[in-house]
A and B are shown apart, each in its own frame.
Chain A
């Protein structure tokens, strides 16, 4: 049965507490040994592991911070590059547009110049054609005039000898034509 032993307490007062120098010494030695053994066997190791782990966690956090910073810097650099690329692209596009515009203007100017040249050339050709036609008409007219005069005067005229006369007639003819 559960029961505490019933013992007669021989000592009284403070003596009843059972203070014993040898027991006291035994507890002191026991506790001292326990401290020494726990320190050697356990505390050093456990605190060492806790220190190592906290150091590792600190290192990992610092590493994570460093990686995050680097990633952020890389992202910023990438965004800067992207922005620069976009700006460069826009600049190139603008330059291309400007070049195209310039080229178009140049081509238009050139086309206009060529057209003007063509027109001038055509005019020149027309003028030459007209002059040639006029020359031919004049020649034909001279021949006709000579033939007509021969018929009128019944004699043959020397075209070279009467060149002055023919030119005079033609000039009169031109003068008449100009009046007309």
Chain B
């Protein structure tokens, strides 16, 4: 299963997509979308990362165990960010009331 050989055509189209998305990120950054600029920039980056992980890193063709391990790692990162921000965002509630 991990022996799966990805066709060159797929590699090239992934590369092309990544290049186009890089262009899109730069182009969209010139517009002031207020708080949405971050969301747009991050969405494009996450999508690019997904393409690299799934195709260049062959995760799409990997075993379920590998996929679960990776998902667990990403989940742990989300915990790190979510718990930290749940603290910082709620620190000044006392002062506000």
Q: Do A and B bind each other?
A: no
